[in-house]
Amino acid sequence: MNVLLVGSGGREDAIARKVRETDNLYSVVTNENPSIIGLSRDVIKYKKNSQEIIDFAKKNKIDIAFVSPDDILNTDLVDKLSENHIPVASPGKKAAMIETSKEYMRNLMRKYRIKGDIENTILSDKETLKKFFDNNDSEYAVKPIGLTGGKGVRVMGLQLSNVAEAINYASEIIDRDGKVLMEKREIGEEFSIQAFTDSKTVVFMPVVQDYKRLYEDDLGPNTGGMGSISDKNFILPFLSIDVVNEAREILKHIVKSMREEGNPFRGVIYGQFMNTDHGVRVIEINARFADPEGINVLTLLKSNIVDIFLDIYSGTLKNNIKFMNKATVLKYIVPPGYGIKPRETELLIKDRIETDNFKIYYSSVSGTLNKVITTKSRALALIGIGDTIYEASDIVEDNLKYINGDYYIRHDIGTEAMMKGKIKD
């Protein structure tokens, strides 16, 4: 099979490696990712003009395409590929609205009475915004309606220290986008559930937890994600199976509601959930693999990903997808100053350090496999695979000696100290 992959971050490197276990890869890249380029038979640079990508797909007789990043799912590319009879295992622009419009997502949850909704309201003028705060004293998460790259959400009591700051930030969003989403602040442990779906069958992947905050002990500003963990038996030690099942039912209900709505979702769907003391709550729903959490599950995936893509496209997805029963810990190496004032840098990677229990995925970098040039974004995803989360974390730490250069990494992810704090809670 000839597979077209659009996207070139760490998550896409993990997809590319799965594809290459069995089939041929053709890639559309946004950065000159040396791993993806090395794995591909042919590569072009991403352009907004979808015709060039369609021509590339036709020239290479593509059997199935997978469009991975959120900003590209928010273009007409998937629809144009479909119109040109190129099979795609990703949602079109309308179905991707489950991620690209938080208004669409909250309206769907309200209309179909889907469990896990959060009290929310959309405000579009500053007068109403002020009255909104005059009339209630709860804390809120202030969110843009559209894509934020993981960095646009600010929460009162975390990034916003008082009502005045919340009003200022919400006003900024109204000025820019015309409206802002206010969601009542929820407290609890967050977790991610990703699933494959052909819009009828939903097949769940292992549960993962993402660490968004820049600094150790979950402090500092939000980032695209500094690392992520998954455990044996596919749930996390601080979540009960009832909580995980509640979240899975919510995700299934969302997929079913979109089908009933005449907007079927095909591809990978990913829910960011929170386990609160009054039940599971939906923080956001996304139309793709998560990054980094997608890398944890793709590393564990035993089934053939190309068969899964073909089944998603043809509506024949089966509940027989297999994952290795192991724990994983991923820590992202990022350039110095990442998230605040990043500096591009060079990293040297010793040859052939990958083993069965340690992998390096290449993210927003160019250069070669042994010497990468970073951008201002995440550079290398280091993942350990073990029998416990602690063991997987130690595997990453042990392999850091093979990577040289000026970088930042959160060492605390998956350590015993961090996990004990969570399990105690």
Minimum separation from the CB atom of position 11 to ligand GLY (A): 8
Nearest CB to ligand GLY, comparing residues 11 and 80: 11
Q: Which of 284, 276, 283, 279 is nearest to 188 (CA)?
A: 276
- Tokens at 374, concatenated: 């970073």
Which region holds residue 411: left if phi is over 0, alpha if psi is between -120 and 50, else beta? alpha
Strand order in the sheet with 202-204: 202-204, 189-197, 267-276, 279-286
CA-to-CA distance for 78 and 129, rounded, in angstroms? 37
Nearest CB to ligand GLY, comparing residues 57 and 329: 329
> What residue type is assigned to position 258 of the chain?
M
State the pairing for strand pair 140-143/180-184.
Answer: antiparallel
Q: Please name the helix (run of DSSP H) or strand (run of DSSP E) that holds residue 123, with its range, or none.
A: strand 120-123
Minimum separation from the CB atom of position 292 to ligand GLY (A): 6
Nearest CB to ligand GLY, comparing residues 24 and 90: 90
Q: Which of 368, 81, 364 is nearest to 224 (CA)?
A: 364
Nearest CB to ligand GLY, comparing residues 123 and 274: 274
**From start to end of 287-342, where are the E strands?**
327-333
Minimum separation from the CB atom of position 212 to ligand GLY (A): 7
Nearest CB to ligand GLY, comparing residues 45 and 151: 151
CA-to-CA distance for 308 and 304, rounded, in angstroms? 7
Distances (CA, A) of 292 to 2, 102, 201, 206: 26, 21, 25, 13
Minimum separation from the CB atom of position 58 to ligand GLY (A): 31
Nearest CB to ligand GLY, comparing residues 11 and 256: 11
Nearest CB to ligand GLY, comparing residues 290 and 334: 290
Are 134 and 127 spatial neighbours (Cβ–Cβ below 8 Å)? no
Minimum separation from the CB atom of position 87 to ligand GLY (A): 25
Minimum separation from the CB atom of position 66 to ligand GLY (A): 16
Nearest CB to ligand GLY, comparing residues 11 and 106: 11
Minimum separation from the CB atom of position 413 to ligand GLY (A): 13
Are 258 and 108 spatial neighbours (Cβ–Cβ below 8 Å)? yes
Minimum separation from the CB atom of position 213 to ligand GLY (A): 12
Residues that bind ligand GLY (CB under 6 A): 150, 210, 225, 286, 290-291, 293
